[in-house]
Each structure stands twice: as C-alpha cells, then as structure tokens.
A and B are shown apart, each in its own frame.
Chain A
Amino acid sequence: MAATQQGSSTIEPATVQPPRLEAVPVRHPGRWVAAVLVGLVALSVVVSLAKNPNLDWPTVRRYLFSDLVLSGLWTTVWLTVAAMAMGVVGGVVVAVMRLSANPVLRVVSGAFVWVFRGTPVLVQLIFWGFLGAFYPTTTIGIPFTDVVFFTGRTSDLVPATVAALLALGLNEMAYASEIIRAGIQSVDSGQVEAAHSLGMTSGRTMRRIVLPQAMRVIIPPMGNETITMLKTTALVSVISGHDLMSNIQAAYAQNFKVIPLLVVASAWYLALTTLLSVPQGWLERRFGRGVAAPGPRGGLGRLVSFRPGASS
C-alpha cells in the first residue's frame, strides 16, 4: 500500500501520458530444438522401416488393396457402424430407464447391464452364433398357452451376420448406457428444474435440455468405444464372420507372411481411427457450444495445427 501511495503522489495523472509499450510474448526456443530432435528420430525410424527387408514391402503393397482385404474392411466398417448405432440408440434408452422413477424399468435395465457388461463379449458372440444349438426352433406366441403366431428354425432367423451384430450391439448398449448415464447425471439439476418450471415434460426436458448438454461429456468416451469396437469386430471370426482381421489371419495362415500382413491390417485400422477423429472433433465442437473454454480440436486438426508461437 505504501509503495503505491508514494508512486501516485509523484505522478501527475493528467499531464503524464504513459508511453505505448510493446508487449513481447514469451519465446519458446526449447520447442524448436525439441521439434527438430523429434523430427530426426521419426525420420530415422521411417527410413529404417522402409529399408528393412523383413517387412517385405512388395507383399504389403500387393495385399493393401486386394479384394480379400477390402471385403474384410467393408465388413469391419459396417459392423462397427451398425453396432455403434445400436449401442448409442439402445444405450440412451437403457440409461433413461436406469434413471427412471419407475422401479420396474430400473430393475430391468440394471439386470441388462449386469449381464451384458459382466460376461465376456466373446462368450456372447458364441452364444448368438450358436443359438440354433441351444434353441433349434424359435416360436413367438403367448407364453403358457397354445397360441402361436410364428415358428421357424433359429439358424435361419439368426445368420452369422445378424448374430455378430446382436452380440456386438447388445454388448455396446450395456457399456454405452453407463457412459450416457454418467453424461446425463453430469448436467446440473437446476437445468431440469428450470425446464419443468416452464412446463416441459420429463421426456421433452431430456431431449431438448439434458441430452444436448450431456453430449459434451458423452462424446469423448464414445469415441474410444468406437475405436475399441473397430478392433473388437475381429472377434467375429469365431462365428465365421469375415472382417478385416479374420481375412488377414486367413491369408497369413496360408502364406506365412505374418509381419507384412499385420502391417497391412495396422495401416487400415490406423486409417480408420484417423478418419473417425474428424466427425468426433466436429461433434465435440457442435455440442461444446456455450461452454466457455472450447474443447480440444479433433485428432486430424491436432495433427495439422502445429503453430509456432507469435512470430511478427
């Protein structure tokens, strides 16, 4: 206090114009050195990989766009998309059920999550894939009566692709519902009260007010889930599904070119996850509106957004 008083008494406010000062931002010379070092290391790794004869680049090139790989890729992509769609839509329903005031809905959804999250997804795949062995015929009717609407062979009703989708989708539903539940609970209860006080029903409040705000919390872990799903689809080989990884395994089982074929698989998985970060970044920005600090940019954006400090 004493110092400022002293200071203000020596300066005459009206007459003395403070000189315009130039602001010098903090410089980061260390970053440039680090960038160069990292660049050098990366370059040497790339060169050594390119020159390594064991990697057998001609084989990689031959298989990268082969029909076998591309058809596996297609299966992987649509299975991932379909299972995730099922997971998200069903997950919202299960999450809302778990948070419902209705005890029947709470118990049913709790049991669903308990079973499908608590057992290995491989077991679930095998169960759906071999459903016909447990229940050779499927009948739809009124239980404990003779009324039957429909009956048919289970293996016709649930072919391998449907089984794969059911297994992955239901499993994802259980996981997604917990992520979505956490997202819903992260929204301040004052938002719900305000919506109710305006005459909005619970359903409309959930759709219009809670879920859009919960999305901000839900999207990053759901991005993780999608990437995990991309690779989990490889498990469908056990019920003779033909995804990317299964086809690659089938190929190297015959020609023993394990490493180059695994490079092919990795290249495709990496390409897919990179592509996925684009919609993720877009969604994060879309649902981050109104939040003071903007979230990080999507993966691709991060890769290309190397900005050196203020250089003028």
Chain B
Amino acid sequence: MTLLRRTPSSTSRATERPGAAGDASSTPPMVLAEGVCKSFGHLQVLQGIDFEVARGEVAVLLGPSGSGKSTFLRCINHLEKVDAGRLSVDGEPVGYVERGGRLHELREKEVAARRTEIGMVFQRFNLFSHQTALENVVEAPTQVKRLPRRVAEERARELLDRVGLADKAGSYPSQLSGGQQQRVAIARALAMDPKLMLFDEPTSALDPELVGEVLDVMRDLAREGMTMVVVTHEIGFAREVADVVAFMDGGVVVETGRPDQVLGRPQHERTRSFLSKVL
C-alpha cells in the first residue's frame, strides 16, 4: 500500500523512517545548500542560503512573503540558475557535473534528465489544461521516460487511486476543484518516481475546506519515506510532519532546527514575530 514504487533500498528505508535522518552519514544529503545567492537585476533575493535536508527527511520552509522561499525551491530544480554558492541534490551539483576537478555546465537535455528525479508541486497546480487528469499523469512517463502507454496508464490509474481520484481520470482540470487539481498534480509528479519532492505553497490557493485533502496526501507521502521540501504556512502540518523547519527572511535562513525548537522555542526575534502573526 505505498504511493511509491522505487528501488529496493529506498523502500526498505521507508520502514526505518524515524532514524532516517541519523543514518545518513554515509550517503550525501539529498539537498545541500551552502551560501546560495541569487539576484534578479539589482534585487538580491537569496543572500547566502545554508540549508540541508537528509534522505527521507521532510523539511518545511517558513518565512514572510518575498523572503525568497519560492526562488530557493526553484533553484533546487534548476528552474532558476544560482549566481554564487554551492547547491547540490543527492551529491551532484545542480546544473553542473564534476569531471576532473572542474564543474562543467550541463546541456539542456542533461538538466532535463536531472529534473526527472525531482518532483515539483506548484501553488497554482499548473495542470496541463488541454489534457485530462489521466493524460496529465501519463504525459511525462510516456514522453520523457518512453514507457509504453499501457504500462504508464496502469501506473497512472494506480496513482490517481492513491490520491483518491480514480473516478476523475477522464476529467479536464477545468472540471476539477482546486483540491482535486492539486492531488492530480501530486500524482503527476509521483509518476516519474522522483527521489525528492518540492512543494511550493501547495495549499495556499485552496479554499479552507479543501486544504485537508491535499495535506492528507502529503502526510502519507512523508510516512512512506519520501524526501520532501515543503514551503507552507500550515504550521500544524509543519509541527506534525516535518523533521526540520527552516525560517527564512530577507534571503537567508535565519533559524533552522526541529519543529518543536523553531516553532515552540524560537531563538530569533524575527522568527518570533513571524510566528505570532501566522499562529
């Protein structure tokens, strides 16, 4: 009964999830950022991000609007190019390959190949509006991974069933509620069997009564051992599911630690004032 069907090593890890963060010493962290900087013109949005997520961990990023959370998430997936600093996913530098002690910039095809291993879920769902739910989920496996259509469809139906939308396979995005669209979007990302999932405020475009259904799916995913980086304002979700919470402000990570530390006993004044506003 798992959402994920991955390599044997990763499924076995799922069972030992509580210790996942501790035993990661031998393998590189899933996400490692050191002094990551990014500017848009004169606006320096990221001013040296230090951040680490171990395999199997769930990290929640908090922070006020404009603090650079989305930008950082997009850097992890190379949708934005980092200006300075080091950023790597699963030991490999994002956008580069290390050969002979030098970093060679990746070509478009290679960047795309790396992205197949990272799933991303967007605030505004971004389902392909000319395709049904099923076609959305089948698109990348057939087009990118070249899976036979029959195999991809079978797996897509399985995933849609897991997110509770087996009966909506033939619906177009415009015929689905926000919560349903977001669950299809999660199924679409999972169809590529990613080793890392990025969520950018997945519930903030939803009506309050639809937030729960999406968080439930994410909670299941976390329980099964998926490594996740989640930008959200759902403090309850962070408290319950996160292994690490990082508070960002002004383009830096101000404070990071276990949820009970950062959310319960914040050390920094900026964290405290932010939490007092959202709680």
Contact = CB atoms under 8 A, between A and B. Distances in A.
Contact of B144 (A194, A198, A212, A292): A198
Contacts of B128: 191, 194-195, 209, 213
Given A194-B122, A199-B192, A208-B143, A290 B131 contact: yes
B118 interface: yes
B106 to A, nearest CB: 12
A198 B116 contact: yes
A200 B143 CA distance: 8
A196 B118 CA distance: 11
Contacts of B188: 194, 198
Interface in A278-312: 287, 289-292
B192 A198 contact: yes
Nearest to A197: B120
Interface residues of A, number: 23
Contacts of B71: none
B126 A191 contact: yes
Contact of A197 (B109, B118, B143, B174): B118
Interface string B113-143: 1111011101010111111100000011001
B139 A198 contact: yes
Contacts of B120: 193-194, 197
B172 interface: yes
Contact of B173 (A197, A208, A290): A290
Contacts of B185: 194
B182 interface: no
Contacts of A196: 79, 112, 115
Contacts of B227: none
B167 interface: no
A208 B139 contact: yes
Contact of A290 (B122, B130, B189): B130
A290 B176 CA distance: 11
A212 to B, nearest CB: 5
Contacts of A290: 129-132, 172-174
A199 B116 contact: yes
B110 to A, nearest CB: 10
A204 B144 CA distance: 9
Interface string A3-16: 00000000000000
Contacts of B127: 194
Interface string B169-198: 000111100000000010011001000000
Interface string B137-169: 001100110000000000000000000000000
A185 interface: no
Contacts of B77: 197
A208 B113 CA distance: 17
Contact of A212 (B119, B124, B126, B130): B130
B130 A197 contact: no
A59 interface: no
A198 B114 CA distance: 10
A191 B118 CA distance: 17
B108 interface: yes
Contacts of B112: 196, 199-201
B201 to A, nearest CB: 13
A190 B192 CA distance: 19
B144 A199 contact: yes
Interface centre among A196, A202, A290 (most CB of B within 10 A): A290
B129 to A, nearest CB: 5
B55 to A, nearest CB: 21
Contact of A213 (B113, B130, B175): B130
Contacts of B118: 197
B228 to A, nearest CB: 15
A287 to B, nearest CB: 7
Which one of A196, A202, A212 has the highest number of Cβ atoms from chain B below 10 Å of its Cβ? A196
A289 B130 contact: yes
B173 to A, nearest CB: 7
A101 to B, nearest CB: 10
A291 B172 CA distance: 8
A199 B116 CA distance: 5
B122 A213 contact: no
Given A190-B122, A290-B172, A200 B144 contact: yes
B80 to A, nearest CB: 10
Which of A191, A199, A200, A204 is most buried by chain B, counting CB atoms within 10 A of its CB? A199
Contacts of B124: 190
Nearest to A199: B116
Contacts of A204: 143-144
A289 B172 contact: yes
Contact of A199 (B113, B172, B174): B113
Contacts of A197: 77, 79, 115, 118-120, 189
Contacts of B143: 200, 204, 208
Interface string A55-84: 000000000000000000000000000000
Contacts of B109: 201
B140 A198 contact: yes
Contacts of A291: 129, 174
A193 B126 contact: yes
Across the A-B interface, the 5 shortest Cβ-Cβ residue pairs:
A199-B116, A290-B172, A194-B126, A198-B140, A197-B120
Given A198-B116, A290-B131, A292-B175, 7 more contacts: A190-B122, A193-B126, A194-B126, A198-B189, A213-B129, A290-B173, A291-B174
